[in-house]
Chains A and B, each alone.
Chain A
Amino acid sequence: MNTPTMKRSPLLLLTTASVCLFMIGPIIVSVMAGLVNNYSRGLSSGLTLRWVWQVWDVYGSTVGASLGLAVACVVCTLVIGVPCAYGLARSRSRAARIFEELLLLPVAIPGLATALALILIYGNFTSLRQSFGFILIGHVIFTLPFMVRTVSAAFQRQDLLAIEEAVRTLGANFTQRFLGVLVPAVLPAIVAGMLMVFTLSIGEFNLTWMLHTPLTRTLPVGLADSYASMRIEVGSAYTLIFLVVIMPALWALQALATLIQKHYGN
C-alpha cells in the first residue's frame, strides 16, 4: 500500500530503523558472546564451542524438560480447554459468563501470586511438590485461558451454529457432531491456540521459578541460574542454545499452523 501521494516520512523510517537495531542487535551480540573465548576481549579472542559443550553438560536436560512440558501443556489444554470452549460458546447463562471471567484471572494476576497460592495449598504433598507435574499444573492454569478464548470465539460463528443445528436435525449425536463437524470447523483456531500455549509454556518463568526444585528445572530456570552463577560466556552459550533450538521449533510450528489454517480456512 505505497501511497505515492504521501511524502515518505523520514521520521518513521528513522524510528523503525532504530527499533530494529534495538531489538535485533542484542540477539546478535548474545550469539557472538556465546561463541568467543573471552567476552571482554570480544572477537579478537577467537571463536570456540567449549562454552556450548559446557552448558550442554550441566543444563542439557532442561531443554528436553521444557519441550516435554510444553507438549504436555498443549495436550492438557486441548483436552480440557476445547470442550470447555464449546460449552461456554453455547451457554447463555450468567454462571457461564462469570466462569469465563474467572478463567481469565490467572492472566491478570501475576504468576508469582498464583505460584504462591499453589505452594500454600499443595506444597506439603512432597511427591507432587517435587515433580514436573506441579510445574505442569502452573503452566496449564496460565495457558488455559488463551486456548479457551481463541477456540470459544471460533465456536461462536453464526454459520457454525446453523450447521450444528442442521446436523442435529439429521440425527447426529453429540460425539458425532463434535468430532465430525465442530472440531474440524474450528481447527484453525485450535491450531492457533496450540501454538500460543506452546510458546507461552516454553518461555514461562514467573510461575516456574517459584514452583521448581533443583531436580525439576526448565530452560528459563536454568538460564536464570547460569546468569547468576556462571561466566558471562556460559550464560551467552546457554542463550545461544535457546535461540538455536527453541526458535526454529517455534518457526516450524508457526509455518505448520499457517499451512493448516490455509487448508482448513474458508
Chain B
Amino acid sequence: MTQVASTTHIRMMCMLPAAIFFAACWLLPVAALVALPVAKGWETYFLVLTSSRYLQSLLNTLWLSLATTLVTVILGAAVGIYLARHRFRGRQVLLSLLTAPLAFPGVIIGFFVILIGGRQGGFASLTHSMGLGRITFGYGMLGLFLAYLYFSLPRAIASYTAAAESMDPQLEEAAHVLGATRWQITRDAWWPQLLPTTVACGAIVFATAMGAFGTAFTLSSQFEVLPITIYNEFTNYANFAVAASLSIALGLVTWGVLFLARLLSADANPAQ
C-alpha cells in the first residue's frame, strides 16, 4: 500500500469520541423519537396540521416568534448603531449589563414579567393607585411577547454593536454629502451593510423563540405555544407519540429557518 495512512488515521481517531458520543446520545435517541409516532399510525406525523388545537399552537408560536424577531432586529440595530458611534464613560459596563441576560434561564425572564405585570406586580399596583383597578398584562400574549423580547434583545445588541463598529462611515458621509435624508441614509447606507448580520441574528432569534420553553412555562400563559403543548402531552397525558410528532414538526421548522439563513449568508459570502 502506498497510502500514507497515518494522517487520515489520526483525524479519524480525533473525531471518534465525539462521533460515538453523538451517535449514542443523540442520533440514536432522536431516530427512535422520529420513529415513535408510527406506532400510532402514519397520520400521527401530521397531527400538527390536521388537529386544530395543535395547528393553533404552532401558529401561535410562529406568529410570536416572527413578531419577536422583527421588533428585536429593529431595536437591536438601533441600539447597536447608537452604541457603536458614541463612546462615553461606562459604555463597556452598559454593554455588559445589556448582554448579561444571555446567561439568564428563560424562567427568570418569565418571573420578571410576573413581578412587573402580574397580579402583585408593580404595574398593577400603579393602575390600582390610579383607580383603574389591577390591570395585569403578564398572563396574556403581551406579557409573553415582552418576555421573548427580553431574552432576544441581548443577542441582537451584541451582534449589531459588533457589526455597526465595522460599518464603513464613508458610505454614510458620501450619502450625506449628496443630500440624502436620514431615512434614505438608513435605507441605502446602513441597511445593506447590516443585512448579513440581520439574516444571521434574525435566524438565531427566531429559532430560539420557537423552541423557548422556560419562559412560557413560568408564565403559564393563556397564549399556548407549541413547546408547552408538547410538554403537556408528555407529562399530563403521557401521549409520547403525539409529543414526539409535535417535536419533530417544531424541529423541522426551526432547522429549516436556520438552514435557509445559512444558505442566504453563504450566497452573500461565497468565500466562507
Contacts and interface: CB of A to CB of B under 8 A. Distances in A.
Q: Do A and B come from one complex?
A: yes
B207 interface: yes
A84 B250 CA distance: 29
Given A23-B150, A205-B213, A110 B105 contact: no
B237 interface: no
Contacts of B250: 110, 112-113
Contacts of B17: 79-80, 83-84
Interface residues of B, number: 89
B70 interface: no
A261 interface: no
A22 B72 CA distance: 13
Interface in A102-118: 102-103, 105-114, 116-118
Contacts of A162: none
Contacts of B212: 206
A227 interface: yes
Contact of B11 (A30, A90, A227): A90
B103 A30 contact: no
Nearest to A77: B18
Contacts of A16: 78-79, 82-83
Nearest to B165: A1
Nearest to B272: A153
B82 A12 contact: yes
A223 interface: yes
A251 B213 contact: no
A100 to B, nearest CB: 10
A6 B104 contact: no
Given A5-B173, A23-B97, A102-B27, A209 B213 contact: yes
Chain B residues touching A, majority SS: helix
Contacts of B244: 116, 120
Contacts of B107: 205, 220, 223-224, 227
A113 to B, nearest CB: 4
Interface in B68-92: 75, 78-79, 81-87
A120 B240 contact: yes
A118 B25 contact: yes
A148 B86 CA distance: 35
A15 B21 contact: no
Contacts of B86: 2
18 contacts: A16-B78, A42-B125, A83-B15, A84-B19, A102-B22, A111-B213, A112-B247, A113-B30, A113-B251, A114-B29, A120-B240, A141-B25, A144-B18, A209-B214, A209-B217, A227-B107, A227-B110, A250-B103
Chain A residues touching B, majority SS: helix
Contacts of A113: 30, 33, 230, 247-248, 250-251
Interface string B150-173: 100110010000000100010011
Contacts of B251: 108-110, 113
B196 interface: no
Interface in B185-238: 207, 210-214, 217-218, 227, 230-231, 234
Nearest to B173: A5
A102 B255 CA distance: 11
Interface residues of A, number: 85
Interface of A: 1-3, 5-7, 9, 11-13, 15-16, 19-20, 22-27, 29-30, 33, 39-40, 42, 79-81, 83-84, 86-88, 90-91, 96, 99, 102-103, 105-114, 116-118, 120-122, 137, 140-141, 144, 148, 174, 199, 202-206, 209-210, 219-220, 223-224, 227-228, 232, 235-236, 239, 242, 246-247, 250-251
Given A1-B169, A140-B21, A20 B94 contact: yes
A13 B173 CA distance: 20
A144 B125 CA distance: 45
Given A29-B116, A30-B115, A120-B36, A109 B30 contact: yes
Contact of A112 (B112, B150, B211): B211
B72 to A, nearest CB: 10
